[in-house]
Structure 1
């Protein structure tokens, strides 16, 4: 999608949605993500929920398989709704990284 195609969609957003877009863009530029960590040697160095061994790609794959956020929160009681929001935002901003991690782990 080009900026020219994206511009009318951005302008149509509510003020709250525009704020979220700005935050997402700022995070992607700084490459720091609240609640997301990457540590060599932990989860293969993949992005994960901070303080856990739950990789973002795993949450994305679970969602694709039809597992709801409520189910994820039940399955991982130490996760919060904010953790999932951070994971979805990270995945949306880094789709190539997430797809590569999913593919790598399917082959393993």
Structure 2
């Protein structure tokens, strides 16, 4: 499964926020845990239904969301 296939946006799940497929775990929740210093192992222990690939998918999704065109003033 490709990384981005692990992230879904469905208006019926958590009000359309990006989540890990098959869960109600929001991408932002995983990112917040990582930002607070939680290790991958700690996250997987607390959320045993997630995988290491799910965590990487959250990071890849966030990275893709921040990649935008640079607009130069002329």
Whether TM exceeds 0.5 here: the answer is yes
Is 1:82 matched with 2:53? yes
State the partner residue of 1:58: 29
Specify the structure having the higher radius of gyration (Cα): 1
2: distance between equivalents of 1:95 and 1:49? 19
Match runs of 1:8-23 below 5 Å: none
Q: Deviations over 1:36-59 (max 9, x none)?
A: 111103112111000100000111
Q: Aligned Cα RMSD in Å?
A: 1.7
Unaligned runs of 5+ in 2: 68-74
Match runs of 1:26-37 below 5 Å: 33-37=4-8
How far is the alpha carbon of 1:85 from its aligned partner? 1.1
Which structure has more RCO (C-alpha within 8 Å, separation ≥ 6)?
2
Between Structure 1 and Structure 2, the one with more helix by share is: 1
2: distance between equivalents of 1:86 and 1:34? 8
- Number of residue-to-residue matches in the alignment: 65
Report the TM-score, using the length of structure 1 for normalisation. 0.56
